[in-house]
Amino acid sequence: MSDRTDDKPTHCLLGHRMFALFEQPLFRRADTDATPVMVVQLGEREAVMPLCSIQREFAIPDDSADGQMLALIAEALDFVPALRMGDRLPLEVLTGNASWEPGPEHIHRALTRLNLQLVAWLHGTAGTDSLVVDSEALARADDDPVLRQHIQDAFQRAAEALKLPSKDAIIAQLESLAGELAYIEALRDQLLDRVRAMTYRIDRLARASQADTGQRGLLERLRYLSGEALHQLNHRFEEQDAQVAEVMAVLRHLESHQGFIRSNRDWLYRSRMAWDPLLAEWDQQTDVQADALRPLLARTYQFLAPRFMPVTEWLKGNKATRKTDIGVRGMTW
């Protein structure tokens, strides 16, 4: 197999002699600020070096093969937790495709929703009704014989409106679009629904807590932060849903809409990677008492505060430990 795709290297390979001095260097993001770093073993100790510092120290030009590879490694770490020399770069940075697959239920759900939107267009209600996102409601739509006939009628009318040879051409376009939107459906399950479940549990704990004053204060802060996190994530999904609500407009400009869907897909996937360790703990947690959840609540606060606390409050809360040159940056996943 070739190591290049459209003149872009496909594997993690660096030619500078400095990289050959270390055995199996590991590339990942720093635990502290998510900076792309190279991690190497120096005897019994681990050395962590930011990629930008390595490039500057060894005068590696941006447009050189190694400079371009360091940029690709940094981009790849948005989609994989780590890379070693010789590892294949993720498809997201090579072709724009995803390096993971949604389940067949997500493809089916996306296609069913598109069919319903096409029926709404046929009846002149596209963009006026609430988008159906509930999986049970979508499943019920599959069993409605009247609706199935409306869908067939919509296929025919849409083919005529778009000057396509047959309704099979419309079906093919919808299936292609559903293949893209299936990733959003998968992330709705894997990220949004899990954050919603965590937020619900924190809210219940805050309402029912008989903990001491300090613990109640933590729960109230978590209640606000988790609610803000859920609001922001939900807004992202709503934006994506609204973008494809006018299905005929999407079918007329499939390529441009594909770019928007993939951009959202990748942002949400990076978010899911960041959330996963914390959500996995909440998924496995069965305790319902705040006192039993103290360590998890503390870790949840450590995760949420720098991402969702208002900047002024975050700076105020960190003033004692960050007395010099406090830098504020937008949250990246």
In this predicted model, what pLDDT tens digit does every residue of 221-253 receive, in sequence order? 999 999 999 999 999 999 999 988 889 999 999
What is the DSSP secondary-structure string of 150-198? HHHHHHHHHHHHTT-SSHHHHHHHHHHHHHHHHHHHHHIIIIIHHHHHH
Q: Which domain does 42 fall in, by range?
A: 4-94
Same domain, 87 and 154: no
Is 332 among the domain residues? no
- pLDDT band for position 125 (cuts 50, 70, 90): confident
Same domain, 37 and 164: no
What is the DSSP secondary-structure string of 38-77? EEEEETTEEEEEEHHHHHHHTT--TTSHHHHHHHHHHHHT
pTM: 0.82
Between CA 164 and CA 173 the distance in angstroms is 11
pLDDT tens digits, residue range 3-61?
Answer: 445 577 999 999 998 888 888 899 999 887 889 999 998 888 889 999 999 999 999 99
Same domain, 194 and 277: yes
Same domain, 68 and 148: no
Contact assessment for residue 21 and residue 38, using Cβ atoms and an 8 Å cutoff: no
Is 321 among the domain residues? no
Contact assessment for residue 175 and residue 111, using Cβ atoms and an 8 Å cutoff: yes
Same domain, 59 and 154: no
- pLDDT band for position 126 (cuts 50, 70, 90): low
Is 30 among the domain residues? yes
Is 103 among the domain residues? no
Contact assessment for residue 47 and residue 40, using Cβ atoms and an 8 Å cutoff: yes
Q: How many domains does the chain have?
A: 2
Same domain, 83 and 204: no
Between CA 188 and CA 184 the distance in angstroms is 6
pLDDT tens digits, residue range 257-279?
Answer: 999 999 999 999 999 999 999 99
